Structure 1
Amino acid sequence: MNFIWLEDFLALASSGNFSRAAEERHTSQPAFSRRIRALEEWLGAALFDRSSQPARLTDVGEWFVGVANDLINRVERVPGEARQVAEASSVTLRIASTHALSFTFLPRWLRGLESQTTLGPVQLMSDVLQRCEALMLQGQVQFVLSHAHSKAQGALDAEPYRSARIGEDQLVAVSAPDAHGHPKHQLGGSRSTAVQVLKYTEESGLGRITRAVLDRRLEAFAVQVVFTAHLASVLRTMVLDARGLAWLPQTLVQEDLDQGRLVAAASSDWNVPLEIRLYRDRELRGRAADAFWKTAAGV
């Protein structure tokens, strides 16, 4: 039995018109009629009363409508169920992480977890938060690692997704220093003097946070946005090149601050406290993913 026959049958059952059903199925009427006849021969019973126009379902045909729909629906579920079975037995952890944490926090964090439990292979996808969220929503990853702030909720902050706080960070306003070690670009001086600022784009999770927390406060200043980028690492490079000030994760710039390559460009009340959160899929399938979550989240 060919599964194409089932869709042919349902098309004809819907209209009773062989020509229309054949057109809908993108085939010629003779070929379509042969496939319907082949299905009836396979079943050993007539499905349509062809003596009337439009053709009417026989009693067997009426019964077979439900059977055909059930079979098609079952076949459509097979690939997803196969992936679930494979995932349940897989030891590979699939994690999406924002770029900034991929380079700074994640390697040290994984080393710490490895001292508590045995981790299998890890497949890391590093991207902007918007894309990381999409990967989770599409079921392509089991976990998402990102910065978070209560004023900038995302798609994974709602049910049925869960998350755990696994670290902390903060955004600090930084600038390249001048010859005297003072910031070349500073917030808090004359409010009439334009402050050159480097900002994150819409797709960036840190951009989502800075817009929610800082944009209204910055309205009191003459801010000139001179550069935008997805990545904190790109903004860091531009700040080091003295293009302006930017709010960057302390985990990314602490060494620059310690060595004087960057300096604070605003008072500490402009710092934005951040959580580092691990988000998990709605259903964790497999012992490896479940054990990883329990260790990482401390549950």
Structure 2
Amino acid sequence: MNISWLEDFLALASTKNFSRAADLRHMTQPAFGRRIRALEEWLGADLFDRSTQPVTLTETGEWFRKIAQDLLAQVARLPSEARAVEESWSTTLQFAATHTLSFTFMPNWLRSLEPRISIGAIQCVSDMLQRCEALMLQGKAQFVLSHTHPQVQSQLEMAGYPSIQLGNDTLVPVSLKDETGQARHDVTSGDKPLQLLDYSAESGIGRILHTVLEPELDRLPIHTVFTAHLASVLKPMVLSGRGVAWLPQSLIADDLDSGRLTPVGPAAWRIPLQVRLYRDRSNINRTAEMFWDAVSNCQLEH
């Protein structure tokens, strides 16, 4: 049997007309008719009642319609299933990590796991949260590492992807210090607009900031002087004295310790963050499954 005969059969079952079905299959009607007959001869049963106009499926034809659809669906899945089998033996872990965590959290975290599990090759895409989430939703990443907040549901959470909390961080509003050791941008007097270095709408940290502090920020006079996707882009703007930005503490720990940057505003402006690891629900190989189990057991011990 030729697989294309199944497509011929379904075209005729749908149109109930040999001429239209032949057109759909890009062949002459006599050639199309011969292929339908060849399929019936192979099966040893008539699939169509040709005594009616339009033609109708016989009882055998009705039964075979579902069989043909299932067979073609299975054939269509074969390439992806073959790739999945091949990838199941791969030892490379596919990560997507938000830009900040990819160089502030990820290196030390992986190092802490090495006594428990042999970690082989890792392929990591470092980007903003929206693109990291898209990679997992498209089945192109096994794991996503990102900042989260209980009040802000991510695309992966809404889609039901499993996750583990790995650690904590804090989103801190900071300013460069002036010559007197005070914050260059005073945000407590209310006399001047807050010179804000803000996140774009696509930013995951920006989504958290504006969801959690929106009522507070709406009461302030604000002048947005710079906007970017990434905290790592806003940080040098703060260090150059351009304004105030909410930055992850993990990103600015050295600058806070050295006194180059100083927190501003009330304590309520500091936003607690979770560092969370998401995993793909199905597209995961044995190496990735072992890695997930090791991470899960490590978190349970803590």
Tell me the distance in 1 between the aligned counterparts of 2:114 and 2:173. Answer: 34
Q: Is the 8 A contact 1:171 1:249 kept in 2?
A: yes
Classify 1:171/1:27 alpha carbon distance in 2 versus 1 (closer, same or farther; 3 Å). farther
Classify 1:116/1:183 alpha carbon distance in 2 versus 1 (closer, same or farther; 3 Å). same
Tell me the distance in 2 between the aligned counterparts of 1:32 and 1:284. Answer: 40
2:252 aligned partner: 253
Tell me the distance in 2 between the aligned counterparts of 1:50 and 1:42. Answer: 18
2:142 aligned partner: 142
2:183 aligned partner: 183
Secondary structure of 1:209 counterpart: helix
**Structure 1 residue 45 displacement after superposition:** 5.0
1:198 aligned partner: 197
**Structure 1 residue 110 displacement after superposition:** 0.9
Q: Is the 8 A contact 2:136 2:142 kept in 1?
A: yes
What are the residue-to-residue correspondences of 1:151-170 with 2, within 5 Å?
151-158=151-158, 160-170=160-170
**Structure 1 residue 43 displacement after superposition:** 4.2
> Is 1:17 aligned to residue 17 of structure 2?
yes
Tell me the distance in 1 between the aligned counterparts of 2:101 and 2:236. Answer: 16
Secondary structure of 1:256 counterpart: helix
Which 10-residue stretch deviates more, 214-223 or 63-72? 63-72
Tell me the distance in 2 between the aligned counterparts of 1:111 and 1:129. Answer: 23
Q: Which amino acid aligns with 1:3?
A: I
Secondary structure of 1:89 counterpart: coil
Secondary structure of 1:52 counterpart: coil
Q: Which amino acid aligns with 2:176?
A: A
**Structure 1 residue 30 displacement after superposition:** 4.9
Tell me the distance in 2 between the aligned counterparts of 1:35 and 1:78. Answer: 25
Q: Is the 8 A contact 1:148 1:276 kept in 2?
A: yes
2:213 aligned partner: 214
**Structure 1 residue 104 displacement after superposition:** 1.1
**Structure 1 residue 59 displacement after superposition:** 4.8
1:9-45 deviations in whole A, cap 9, x for unaligned?
A: 1011122112222343455545544543443455455
Q: Is the 8 A contact 2:49 2:58 kept in 1?
A: yes
**Structure 1 residue 102 displacement after superposition:** 0.7
Tell me the distance in 1 between the aligned counterparts of 2:31 and 2:156. Answer: 50
Q: Which amino acid aligns with 1:209?
A: I
Q: Is the 8 A contact 2:18 2:29 kept in 1?
A: yes
Classify 1:160/1:221 alpha carbon distance in 2 versus 1 (closer, same or farther; 3 Å). closer
**Structure 1 residue 94 displacement after superposition:** 1.2
Q: How many residues align?
A: 298
Tell me the distance in 2 between the aligned counterparts of 1:24 and 1:225. Answer: 58
1:120 aligned partner: 120
Tell me the distance in 2 between the aligned counterparts of 1:145 and 1:124. Answer: 10
Tell me the distance in 2 between the aligned counterparts of 1:114 and 1:78. Answer: 37
Tell me the distance in 1 between the aligned counterparts of 2:150 and 2:255. Answer: 28
Q: Which amino acid aligns with 2:211?
A: A
Structure 2 portions without partners, runs of 5+? none
1:266-299 deviations in whole A, cap 9, x for unaligned?
A: 3433211111111122247443222211222325
What are the residue-to-residue correspondences of 1:23-172 with 2, within 5 Å?
23-40=23-40, 42-43=42-43, 45-158=45-158, 160-172=160-172
Secondary structure of 1:214 counterpart: helix
Which 10-residue stretch deviates more, 142-151 or 82-91? 82-91
Tell me the distance in 2 between the aligned counterparts of 1:294 and 1:49. Answer: 58
TM-score norm. by structure 1 comes to: 0.89
1:110-168 deviations in whole A, cap 9, x for unaligned?
A: 11111321012111121211222222222222211111111111122246422111111
Q: Which amino acid aligns with 1:136?
A: M
Q: Which amino acid aligns with 2:4?
A: I
Q: Which amino acid aligns with 1:176?
A: L
**Structure 1 residue 77 displacement after superposition:** 2.6
**Structure 1 residue 227 displacement after superposition:** 1.7
**Structure 1 residue 183 displacement after superposition:** 2.0
Q: Which amino acid aligns with 1:82?
A: A
Which 10-residue stretch deviates more, 105-114 or 235-244? 235-244
Tell me the distance in 2 between the aligned counterparts of 1:206 and 1:275. Answer: 11
2:225 aligned partner: 226
Which 10-residue stretch deviates more, 230-239 or 1-10? 1-10
Q: Percent identity?
A: 55
**Structure 1 residue 75 displacement after superposition:** 1.2
Q: Is the 8 A contact 1:192 1:221 kept in 2?
A: no
Structure 1 portions without partners, runs of 5+? none
